[in-house]
């Protein structure tokens, strides 16, 4: 769901990383491994622009010929909850009321640079009629 394909392009001794589905996310690396590592931060930053603008997250296309990058686990959970909220047409203020929280608490929940607690994310998922499943693969 949040596995976004990346295009790796050699560029003057470095590797340029772009995301076909998230044009805001661009980064570089000296090697492919470094470029893919930086790509996680670039993806999270690019997706945070959608959250800040209260826009739906772009769908990740399926391009088997390209490597994929996904947000880190905590940010992935936050983004999944944000996506569910937007799919249900629920605003942040509505979620705050359902949770009995103040608006800044909900804002922090979707701030990808803020280290939210898992119990807060579970409460938000439950308020949306969902639950969080994590697996270790």
Using the 3D structure, point to which of 43, 69, 95 is the last residue of a domain: 69
Residue numbers of the domain that contains 52: 4-69
Q: What is the pLDDT of residues 68-102, one digit of tens each?
A: 999 999 999 999 999 999 999 999 999 999 999 99
pLDDT over 70 percentage in the chain: 100
In a domain, 96, yes or no: yes
Residue 134 lies in a domain: no
Q: Are residues 12 and 63 in the same domain?
A: yes
pLDDT at 126: 97
More confident position, 136 or 55: 55
Residue 22 has pLDDT above 90, yes or no: yes
> Would you say residue 60 lies in a domain?
yes
Q: Look at residue 137 and tell me if it is in a domain.
A: no
Burial class (CB in 10 A: 0-12, 13-18, 19+), 67: middle
Question: Does a structural domain hold residue 13?
Answer: yes
Tokens at 96, concatenated? 């705050």
**53 plus 82 within the same structural domain:** no
Same domain, 78 and 24: no
- pLDDT at position 135 over 90: no
Cα-based angle 6, 134, 120 (whole degrees, multiple of 5): 100
Answer yes or no: is 136 within a domain: no
* Number of compact structural domains in the chain: 2
Q: What does the alpha-carbon distance between residue 136 and residue 27 come to, in Å, rounded to a whole number?
A: 28
Task: Give the integer Cα–Cα distance in Å for 32 and 38.
Answer: 10
Residues 80 and 113 in one domain: yes
pLDDT value for 1: 78
């Amino acid at each position: 769901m949040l596995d976004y394909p990346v295009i790796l392009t050699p560029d003057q001794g470095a590797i340029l990383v772009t995301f076909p589905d998230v044009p805001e996310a661009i980064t570089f690396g000296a090697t492919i491994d470094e470029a893919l590592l930086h790509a996680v931060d670039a993806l999270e930053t690019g997706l945070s622009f959608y959250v800040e603008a209260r826009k739906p997250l772009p769908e990740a296309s399926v391009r088997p010929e390209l490597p994929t990058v996904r947000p880190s686990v905590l940010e992935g959970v936050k983004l999944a909850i944000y996506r569910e909220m937007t799919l249900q047409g629920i605003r942040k203020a509505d979620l705050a009321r359902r949770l009995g929280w103040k608006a800044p608490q909900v804002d922090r929940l979707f701030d990808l640079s803020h280290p939210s607690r898992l119990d807060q994310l579970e409460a938000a998922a439950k308020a949306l009629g969902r639950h969080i499943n994590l697996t270790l693969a």
